[in-house]
Amino acid sequence: MKTGNDFSRLTNFRSISFTFLAYLALSSVWLIIALRFSQTGWDFTQFYIAAHLPVSSLYNRTEFVATGTKLLAPIGINYYPPFVRPAVFALALKPLALFSYWGAYWLWAAVGFAAYLATLLILFRRFDLPKNLLPGFALFAPSLFGIVTGQDANVYLLVLVGALLLILSRKEIAGGLMLALCAYKFNLLLFLPLVLIFKARWKSLFAFTIGTSAAAALSALLAPTSQYLVLLRSIPQQTIGFIPGGVRGVAIRTGHELVYFPLAALGSAFCIYLIWKLPLLDASCVAVTGALLLGYHVTWYDCALLVLPICVAWRASSKNARAWLLALLVLPFAWILGKEAFQVAAETIILFQLTRLASASPSPLTRPEPF
């Protein structure tokens, strides 16, 4: 005869199973899109070409395009966005050269999807989020559509979340070194060092500094720094219709690019105030959101990082505020069609929710716990 505890466990198991299956079912929509979308995997070309090139030639545009033409033109792919990460990180891409382009892409997509799901499971368990919220994340366009185009933001998200939770749990050296891996996209680290400084996480700051310095030094040895700097300045000319996200993207769209600079300065001052005011975890969420909103070079798929501040803000938000956060998850076409304007609106909503935490007492979520 089943006891009340047995019945409760069975009900909980069924609830979790249903939620997980709903997440997978909604995620399959993106697989259908990937199978039909004419530009599936096009952004992945930069990683696939980098896997085949000698690292010293990563930033030589002539060699990069020539390699892309040789490898990919025969299968009808003729767009080769530049590889703009520090050279040392290209070493991790070398195994992709063992596969055909589409074989490598589907492996890349599977890793990205697994990283996204792993991050969600970590955050849901850590913050005890409601299980029925999980399917909403299956519609979050920056994370899932980013996989379709061949981007790597979900792996970055997993590393970032792991690093921050390690630091939060006082495993500072490990957390700082893990955070240094995020120098892979150093443009997204705009405010995070200030979090370590304001919260006196000196061991993490030291480990982060050593790690990023080592990555920069090795990158300079592997590929010419001068070529890399020239490449960074030429990104708009080498990508198809590239317009950055955030405030700068809206300023460019409206024909008032110079307005970006005073707005970025004011916004940065406000974010720095919040980082000083809030506990470590909430301050880290401000740092992430602020970088996406105010950074000079950010993209729509980088908004996959908003998963972290959405999860943190959810626990301390009112019912109405949660409705806004849920809308950011389940309106994929608003992200796709709304472009930079919707990105700014989403980041502003999240930043507003984090701002409300500045006047509240520290949440139990911000206390160090074993991770």
| Domain containing residue 288 | 4-366
Q: What percent of the chain has pLDDT over 70?
A: 92
Q: What does the block give as tokens for 257?
A: 């690019």
DSSP 17-55: HHHHHHHHHHHHHHHHHHHH-TTTTGGGHHHHHHHHS-G
Residues 6+ apart with CB under 8 A from 282: 312, 354, 357, 358, 363, 366
**Overall number of domains in the chain:** 1
The pLDDT assigned to 3 comes to: 57
Stretches where the chain sits below pLDDT 50 are 7, 361, 363-371
- Give the Å distances, CA to CA, from 214 to 16, 102, 179, 241: 43, 33, 13, 34
The pLDDT assigned to 366 comes to: 43
User: Is 167 within 8 Å of 280 (Cβ atoms)?
Assistant: yes
The pLDDT assigned to 365 comes to: 40
Question: How many Å apart are CA 350 and CA 360, to the nearest integer?
Answer: 16
The pLDDT assigned to 238 comes to: 72
3-state secondary structure of 363: coil
Burial of residue 7, with CB atoms counted within 10 A of its CB: 0-12 exposed, 13-18 middle, 19 or more buried:
exposed
In a domain, 199, yes or no: yes
Burial of residue 70, with CB atoms counted within 10 A of its CB: 0-12 exposed, 13-18 middle, 19 or more buried:
exposed
CA nearest neighbour of 141 among 323, 300, 251, 11:
300
The pLDDT assigned to 12 comes to: 64
In a domain, 371, yes or no: no
> Could you read off the pLDDT of 72-100 as tens digits, one per residue?
999 999 888 899 899 999 999 999 999 99
Residues 6+ apart with CB under 8 A from 333: 141
User: Is 347 within 8 Å of 286 (Cβ atoms)?
Assistant: no
Question: How many Å apart are CA 80 and CA 85, to the nearest integer?
Answer: 15
Residues 6+ apart with CB under 8 A from 20: 134
The pLDDT assigned to 138 comes to: 96
In a domain, 218, yes or no: yes
Q: What does the block give as tokens for 74?
A: 């025969």
User: Is 243 within 8 Å of 340 (Cβ atoms)?
Assistant: yes
Residues 6+ apart with CB under 8 A from 371: 126, 165, 166, 168, 169, 171
In a domain, 153, yes or no: yes
Global pTM reads 0.91
The pLDDT assigned to 38 comes to: 87
